[in-house]
Amino acid sequence: MMSGAMQQKQDNVALPVFAAVTLALITILSVWKLKQFKYKLVNEAGVAMFYGLLLGLTVRLIWTDKGEQCPGNTTATNEQENTSDISMVNITPHGYIRNDKRQFSSHPEETFDLQVLFNLFLPPIIFHGAYTLNQKRFIANLGSVLTYAFAGTIISCMCIGACMYGFTKLMPPKEEFLLTHCLLFGAIMSATDPVSVLGLLSDLRVDLDLHMLLFGESVLNDAVAIVLTHAITTYTQMDAGLIFDPTAFLHAFVFFLGVLIGSFLLGLIFTVITALLTKFTRLHENPLLETSVFFLLSWSSYLSAEACGLSGIVAVMFCGLSQARYTVLNLSSEGRARIKQLFEVFNFLGEISIFGYMGYILLKFTCHKFEPVFISGALLSVFLSRAFNIYPLSFLLNLGRTNKIPCKFQHFMMFAGLRGAVAFRLAVKNTATEVTRTIFTTTLLMIGFTIWVLGTAADPMLRRLDIRVGVDPDENQEDHSFEIATERPDTTQGLWHSLDYKYLKPVLTHCGPPLTESLPQCCGIFARVFSSPRVQEDEEEELCEIEAGKNTLDLGKTESQQGSSESDSASEHQEDLLDGDLGLGTAPVHPREASGSSTQL
């Protein structure tokens, strides 16, 4: 009786989605149970990937499609060799492959695929990471983060590329690994992954400086990896030679700047829209609407950046940082709590889904190409490149930092270079030839290795290195205001302060001095238009005062101590409202907040 219906509905996506949901449930429950038994070694990403593997194996054993063929097998693809290198191919949840030139079997099930997964879950994860970040600490470490993200990733890429080129010489000559292929692999493997790094960090709650360095690096190097991959692909298209071309280099550099600034601006634009909407309308009267609009606008920053070919991860990170600084001041307290909880759920389910899917593809994808030499080369070069990245750069950075990066931090950073979703996304774009499929397979194995081995070993490693864990993310160390003062000359500081406090805050929120005072006379109309339309209510005033106090401490000496002492008393009333959202460095540490504010199992 049911079989008729089964057949009729065969082509719906409910079954694979149901399998995915079941997988997520099993992962959640088993991680939670394991943690109860004090198996601190378990991390969600690893368990999700493991169950994904099991599902992939099951699906493969049950529905093996004998007629399937892999593209780019050496016999039949000579005429396509030139184009297939750059054509984009999608891998579907069922392992079928299609591109615009040749169509393999296509199933409706492929609809719930990788792209949906990334567009749906990656933005909330990054946004949540940035939104709940201790902003003060992030700014304090910004210089170092930028160095690791940009210089470090380029060093890694070159190092892996060179290593792999050496290893490919050891391989049987039938493989046509060019230097550009090796560099492509370097670009893919050089970026550490914000999703897995965030998962690790929020589990362990390591020292805040270490948190900032690792998280900031993993987010920002996405932009570098995208640009490097793009530059190398373009370079390959131009000619297959090895000649160094200054024009191409310049082109790549300009492109890189464009991607970075463009993504930054897009993130900012969506914050400005959200802030103005919540400031000038009565949206705060309806928390459901407020939450929906906030969520959609923040998500838009990622989507618009990706649609323009920029880095969505960078855009949504800047959006999260600026939303937490400005927009949050305009929200109702219920809206604020709802937004935080909504992103928490997405962050939690997203991490599990993405890693489960990667595990699934590892066994389900039927066109894997395992090259033992290449894989062992990759394993070695990933460690080597990380060492060449962290130790020299830390040495250079420590020359300029008052608050040095200790050796034990360097060892842990060297160690915690987890790969994940970003590398997967880059590798999966091209699986048309044998070479690119070798790269894809090796990338998946490297992701599995870093997640399972390095991720699991992180906790004992931290204890071995004697690094503080279980740190309250809102903790404040007084000595950090010095670092800012040392790193930045007073003029930059003053500029940022006046931009933030005198102009951005009054325009985007109800806080700060009235615009009519801070703006010159000629901008009178502008000032009147953007002035706060409502009289400040009590709660808002308290919030603004906290913010003012935060600025004071942030920037050392420009403000009197009065704001700071006010904020301490004000934050007593606000502990439930803020709960880590604002990275309140000035508030006293509440032990209850510390245990409740981060995503933990």
Report the site for a second copy in 62-91 (rule: CB under 8 A).
88, 90
Contact status, residue 104 vs residue 68, Cβ threshold 8 Å: yes
From the list 308, 445, 471, 594, which residue makes contact with a second copy (rule: CB under 8 A)? Answer: 308
| Closest separation in Å from C-beta 391 to a second copy | 33
- Report CA-CA distances (Å) from 363 to 107, 119, 421, 473: 19, 23, 17, 38
| Closest separation in Å from C-beta 459 to a second copy | 20
Q: Which is nearer to a second copy, 240 or 307 (CB)?
A: 307
CA distance 168 to 172: 8
Kindly state whether residue 304 participates in binding a second copy, applying the rule CB under 8 A. Answer: yes
From the list 70, 255, 373, 540, which residue makes contact with a second copy (rule: CB under 8 A)? Answer: 255
CA distance 538 to 543: 9
Distance of CA 78 to the CA centre of its chain: 38
Q: Measuring CA to CA, which residue among 514, 145, 76, 116 is closest to residue 314?
A: 145
Q: Phi and psi of 90, rounded to 5°?
A: -105, 140
> Near a second copy by CB under 8 A, which window of 156-164, 168-176, 250-258, 549-557?
250-258
Q: Which is nearer to a second copy, 33 or 464 (CB)?
A: 33
38 phi-psi bin (left φ>0, alpha ψ -120 to 50, beta other)? left
> 171: how many CB neighbours lie within 10 A of its CB?
15
| Closest separation in Å from C-beta 407 to a second copy | 36
Q: Which is nearer to a second copy, 103 or 498 (CB)?
A: 103
Q: Which is nearer to a second copy, 21 or 170 (CB)?
A: 21
319-378 residues in contact with a second copy (CB under 8 A) are 338, 341-342, 344-345, 348-349
| Closest separation in Å from C-beta 383 to a second copy | 31
| Closest separation in Å from C-beta 564 to a second copy | 32
411-430 residues in contact with a second copy (CB under 8 A) are none
Q: CB under 8 Å to 6, separation ≥6 — which residues?
A: none
Kindly state whether residue 250 participates in binding a second copy, applying the rule CB under 8 A. Answer: no
| Closest separation in Å from C-beta 350 to a second copy | 11
DSSP string, 272-306: HHHHHHHHHSSGGG-HHHHHHHHHHHHHHHHHHHH
Q: Which is nearer to a second copy, 256 or 374 (CB)?
A: 256
CA distance 129 to 411: 23
Q: Which is nearer to a second copy, 111 or 403 (CB)?
A: 111
Angle value at C-alpha 336, between 330 and 338, nearest 5 degrees: 145
CA distance 464 to 144: 25
HSE, CB side, 13 Å, CA atoms: give it for residue 461: 19
CA distance 355 to 353: 6
Q: Name the token pair of 340.
A: 């935080």
| Closest separation in Å from C-beta 243 to a second copy | 20
| Closest separation in Å from C-beta 131 to a second copy | 15
> Near a second copy by CB under 8 A, which window of 15-23, 42-50, 58-66, 72-80?
15-23
DSSP string, 96-165: -EE-SSSB----GGGGS-HHHHHHHHHHHHHHHHHHTS-HHHHHHTHHHHHHIIIIIHHHHHHHHHHHHH
| Closest separation in Å from C-beta 426 to a second copy | 12
| Closest separation in Å from C-beta 587 to a second copy | 22
Count of residues interacting with a second copy (CB under 8 A) = 77
CA distance 564 to 555: 12
From the list 162, 268, 276, 303, which residue makes contact with a second copy (rule: CB under 8 A)? Answer: 303
Amino acid at 122: L
> 499: how many CB neighbours lie within 10 A of its CB?
11
| Closest separation in Å from C-beta 115 to a second copy | 4
CA distance 369 to 284: 55
473-502 residues in contact with a second copy (CB under 8 A) are none
Collapse the DSSP code of 529 into the 3-class scheme (helix H, G, I; strand E, B; otherwise coil) and give the result: helix
At which residue do the structure tokens 């010489």 appear? 169
DSSP string, 40-54: TT--HHHHHHHHHHH
DSSP string, 546-572: HHHHHHHHHTTTSS-THHHHHHHHHHH
Angle value at C-alpha 108, between 107 and 112, nearest 5 degrees: 115
> Near a second copy by CB under 8 A, which window of 185-193, 251-259, 370-378, 572-580?
251-259
> Near a second copy by CB under 8 A, which window of 13-21, 70-78, 214-222, 508-516?
13-21
Q: Which is nearer to a second copy, 177 or 346 (CB)?
A: 346
| Closest separation in Å from C-beta 232 to a second copy | 12
385-414 residues in contact with a second copy (CB under 8 A) are none
Q: Which is nearer to a second copy, 183 or 293 (CB)?
A: 293
Q: Which is nearer to a second copy, 2 or 243 (CB)?
A: 2
23-62 residues in contact with a second copy (CB under 8 A) are 24-25, 28-29, 32, 36
Sign of CA dihedral 461, 467, 470, 472: negative
581-600 residues in contact with a second copy (CB under 8 A) are 599-600
From the list 52, 267, 312, 356, which residue makes contact with a second copy (rule: CB under 8 A)? Answer: 312
- Report CA-CA distances (Å) from 251 to 185, 227, 248, 315, 589: 21, 11, 5, 22, 49
535-574 residues in contact with a second copy (CB under 8 A) are none
| Closest separation in Å from C-beta 119 to a second copy | 5
259-298 residues in contact with a second copy (CB under 8 A) are 259, 262, 277, 282-283, 286, 288-289, 291-293, 295-297
Kindly state whether residue 242 participates in binding a second copy, applying the rule CB under 8 A. Answer: no
| Closest separation in Å from C-beta 120 to a second copy | 8
197-236 residues in contact with a second copy (CB under 8 A) are 230, 233-234
Q: Phi and psi of 91, rounded to 5°?
A: -100, 130
Site string for a second copy, 101-140 (x = CB under 8 A): --x--x-x-xxxx-xx--x---------------------
